[in-house]
Chains A and B, each alone.
Chain A
């Protein structure tokens, strides 16, 4: 659902400030340490954005949001002061299980997958998914119209699963809603599907966008509690019911403009349905056997495979760009006219000295501002290629400078120009010298390619994230993914060793080298 910086795009109407909780925890903790009641520590991600939990634009040290108000109300009901604990949204459930906080309260949909791992209170809010398009769009009215279109959503969300269930949609999953709606406004996407509250706060205020179609799907948010914490679960359920009956929850939603028909129905159901039935259905849905898990696990292997292929394609293309551009940079630096040599030096230093992640953001989200709109794939390849070109340039420089001066003198004395000497004599020898460091860099790039998941590329690491967050199995899926990376990288290491032996400057043992590559023998054959 929600995960990245959101403060930039906050709506100007921010009605509630009275219930904002101080982010300065020291004061709250210090005060409570002496009292008999423990605070109710609730985990959420303040980077998730409005209207859930987000920094007050007028004073970023404070947080606000309808869930901040709910936490405060619950705290009052339980007689335990609510204390906010910041936690990355993706990791809310692991954080809860580790005991970093007592409850996870941050737009967590109640899903069977999650119920295998934690327990949920009764739902506190119900809503649906909302489709947004550009104002001038007239052909998209429902899910069925999305076939063949590019549609953005948030990673790991129900919306993403709904889109995946439809065929023929080009899905782009984003870390944060702001980027998704921005890309919709600037034409990179044809539509965006997200939880209705997010759409209310980020899509509706945007004059370039509009809502379209009926509500899609149904989701209910619940408060996550550790499975062994039954007492807290019951207390929270009771407190929530009280807040519903007393109308406080409704008042909170109305203040935030979030009251909707789904929640009306939910409140009806909560007030009238017997608790025992809720309890019973909850136990039914829990605890699937591990065999089922493994089966699901295997079922996701094709997904990992597709991610691996994408990782390979991105890495190989990116490296091809890097070695080509790197050679140009090195030659310009070593032999170009002075201004060009300086420019090349500056490029190398700046690119090596700044984080790849920021370079990727600039390329993908920054360049559209000046009219250059790259597809995620192109942005990934260009980003990795431009970055690694700086490292390759240094490899080449070292390689070229390692070639004895006599080589270029011999070439020049035969009448070759500097350029001809480089092309036919120096560079071919330097290329052979740099094979080991370039292979090294290729393997590094191969792993660094995982970073392009932040610009909506679905590659191996992104698939890992999806699977791990679906099953809360960060270890098993993690080991599996790491193994895939390792196995994919292995052939390149061997290929490079072989190429190194094959193209060794003196080429003394080409035959044995070839045998070694094929695994036939391990010693140089004599004769």
Chain B
């Protein structure tokens, strides 16, 4: 695409404090459609907070988030009148995957995936389950439809959680350390799904410590440190020739 590509996500000067602790100290970046962006950085650098601000699970103090056609803007801690409405619109465009899966334990895998389309989009049970089956087939869980989450392995649970988010047909998928609570042998199957989605053109933003995945699969890397976006660029640049000393320091611990 020529010229300035239309951005799917634009974040401008995002700020967020918890009491006296500043978690985000003015973050700005943008994400082009169909790209896979990986956010890395030491623990407590604010990368999870940033991700949670993108779908409104955390309300930022000031700044602007624009995703697809929804804008969330806030200045001086004022609360927008139509905040709830905008949050819902935003969340319909954005799917989220959590470190601890957060599957609904009282529902089968199929019901986990079919529930939100029925409740949020008012879809009929049959339509919702058809769609859920298709998505679950894609993540390789066709033979686990009637299982409860507690009967699945961690990898299977995280794949089911991804499927659950996908049935809402989001334009963007966010992942908050999706493999951190998985047995190392199961990490691969989850990363594989993300690669597959990348190939299909899904826009994805991932917070992770899987450096190899970041280097091999990402289109762009964002490195965060103490609430600031310190460095950003293609993986070859960030991993191969980091410009900032803080990036170098951080990457050293992974070699």
Contacts and interface: CB of A to CB of B under 8 A. Distances in A.
Interface residues of B, number: 28
A479 B84 CA distance: 61
Contacts of B96: 410, 413
Contacts of A505: 105-106, 150
Contacts of B104: 407, 410-411, 425, 429
18 contacts: A407-B104, A409-B98, A410-B103, A410-B164, A413-B57, A413-B96, A414-B95, A414-B115, A414-B116, A414-B164, A414-B168, A415-B92, A416-B120, A420-B120, A424-B119, A505-B150, A506-B151, A507-B106
Contact of B105 (A416, A424, A506): A506
A413 B95 contact: yes
Contacts of A217: none
Contacts, number: 70
B239 interface: no
Interface in A428-446: 428-429, 432
B50 to A, nearest CB: 15
A506 B150 contact: yes
B165 A414 contact: yes
A508 B150 contact: yes
A409 B57 contact: yes
A416 B117 CA distance: 10
B168 A417 contact: no
Given A415-B120, A416-B120, A424-B119, A409 B148 contact: no
Given A409-B57, A416-B119, A425-B104, 9 more contacts: A406-B100, A409-B102, A410-B104, A413-B55, A414-B165, A415-B168, A429-B106, A505-B106, A508-B150
Contacts of A424: 115, 119
Nearest to A421: B119
A428 B105 CA distance: 10
A416 B102 CA distance: 15
B106 A416 contact: no
B204 to A, nearest CB: 15
Interface of A: 404, 406-407, 409-417, 420, 424-425, 428-429, 432, 505-508
Interface in B103-154: 103-106, 115-116, 119-120, 148-151
A415 B116 CA distance: 7
B57 A412 contact: yes
Given A412-B57, A428-B106, A507 B148 contact: yes
A412 B164 CA distance: 13
B102 A407 contact: yes
B91 interface: yes
B243 interface: no
A414 B91 contact: yes
B163 to A, nearest CB: 12
Contacts of A429: 104-106
A430 B225 CA distance: 39
A415 B148 contact: no
Contacts of A416: 116, 119-120
Contacts of B105: 429, 505-506
B88 interface: yes
Contacts of A411: 104, 116
A489 B69 CA distance: 60
A507 B111 CA distance: 14
Contacts of A413: 55, 57, 91, 94-96, 165
Nearest to A420: B119
Interface in B73-91: 84, 88, 91
A508 B98 contact: no
Contacts of B148: 506-508
A505 B106 CA distance: 5
A403 to B, nearest CB: 10
A413 B90 CA distance: 9
Contacts of A414: 91, 95, 115-116, 120, 164-165, 168
Contacts of B165: 413-414
A406 B120 contact: no
B79 to A, nearest CB: 15
A181 B119 CA distance: 57
Contacts of B164: 410, 414
